[in-house]
Structure 1
Amino acid sequence: MTDRDDFIATLNDLIEVSRDGEEGFRASAENVDHPQLKAFFMRRSQEVAASVQELQGLVRSQGGEPAASTSLGGALHRHWIDLKTALTSNNTLSVLNETERGEDVALKAYQEAAEMDLPTHIRTVVVRQLEGAKRNHDEVKKLRDAAQAEADAHS
C-alpha cells in the first residue's frame, strides 16, 4: 500500500486540481453571456468546491495539512480563458474549448489517483469524484460540440 505521505500528497494534488476547476468554472461563468450556460458553470463551480472540502477532510483525517491554493498551471489556464475570450468573436465556443481543456487535466489527475493503491475509504471518495469529473468533462464536451455546430452553421 502507498504510504500515508504519498496518499496525502495525492489528495493535495487533487485539491489543487479541483480548486483549479472550481475557479475555472467560475471564470467560465464570468466569460459567457448565455444565462443557462452561466448557471451551469456556477453550479459546477459549487459542486467542485464541495469536492474540495471533502478532500480536505480526508487529508486532515490522515494528519496532513490540506493544500491551500490552486496550482500555477490552473492560474495560467484561467488567464488564458480571459485573454482568448477577449480576442475572439465567439465567446461561448472559446470558453467551452478552454473549459474542456481544463477538465481534461482534472480527469487525468483523478484517473491517476484512482490507479494508486489507496486505503479503501480514500479510494472510494477518489473513484466517486472521478465519476463526477467524467460527467463534468462529458457535459462540457457536449456543450462545446453544440456550440461548434452552431458556429459552423453560421459560417
Structure 2
Amino acid sequence: METPTTTITNEVLNDLIAINNDRIAGYEKAIKEIKNADPVIKELFMTMINDSREYRNTLGVEVQAAGGTMETGTTAAGKLYRTWMDIKSAFSGTDVKSILSSCVTGEEAAQRAYKSALEHKEIPANIRLILVEEKAALKASLDRIKAYYNDVKDYGEPV
C-alpha cells in the first residue's frame, strides 16, 4: 500500500519523467527542422536526447521501486509545465536562431520543474540527490544552448 509520501513522490517523479519525454521529443523535432545547422549543434541535441532518456529511466526505476507506474507520455495533459510541447509546435521557421531560442525556453522550463520538485519536503534524501544531480546537468545543457544561441547570427548561420 502506498503512503501519502510515496504517492506524492511518484507524482512528482512522473511529472519530471513527462518533462524528459517532452525534452526528447522537442530535440528530435529540432534535429529534423534544422536543415543546414552546424553538425556540432545536431550532435549537442542528440546528446541531450540521450541524457533525457537516462534521466527518465533513472526516475522510472525509483517510481517502480516504490510500487508505482512510470509515466510514458508527455506533459500534454500536464501537471507542471507544458513548455516543451509548445516548443515542438513553435518551429514555424527552420532557422537555427529561432530553434535555439525555443530550446532555451524549454530548458528554462525544465529547470523550473526540477526546482518545483525539489521544494516537496516528502521527497526522500536518496531521490533528492538524483534530482539535484539531474537539475545540475540540465543547467549545464541550458548554458550550452545559450552559448550556441549567442554565437549564431540573426539569420541563423553560426558566427
**Aligned runs of 1:21-36 on 2, under 5 Å?**
21-32=23-34, 33-34=36-37, 35-36=39-40
Structure 1 residue runs without a partner (length 5+):
none
Q: Which residue of 2 aligns with 1:3?
A: 5
**Aligned runs of 1:2-151 on 2, under 5 Å?**
3-32=5-34, 33-34=36-37, 35-72=39-76, 73=82, 74-81=84-91, 84-85=92-93, 91-117=95-121, 118-147=123-152, 150-151=153-154
Structure 2 residue runs without a partner (length 5+):
77-81
Two-structure CA RMSD over aligned residues (Å): 1.7
Confirm or deny: 8 A CA contact 1:30 1:38 kept in the other structure: no
Comparing 13-22 with 67-76, greater Cα deviation is found at: 67-76
Q: TM-score, normalised by structure 2?
A: 0.84
The number of residue pairs the alignment matches comes to 144
Report the alpha carbon displacement of residue 75 of structure 1 after superposing the two structures with TM. Answer: 3.0
SS at match of 1:68: coil
Confirm or deny: 8 A CA contact 1:107 1:130 kept in the other structure: yes
1:151 counterpart letter in structure 2: D
SS at match of 2:151: helix
SS at match of 2:72: coil
Report the alpha carbon displacement of residue 13 of structure 1 after superposing the two structures with TM. Answer: 0.4
1:128 counterpart letter in structure 2: E
Q: Normalized per residue, which structure has more helix?
A: 1
Report the alpha carbon displacement of residue 76 of structure 1 after superposing the two structures with TM. Answer: 3.6
Identity %: 22
Q: TM-score, normalised by structure 1?
A: 0.86
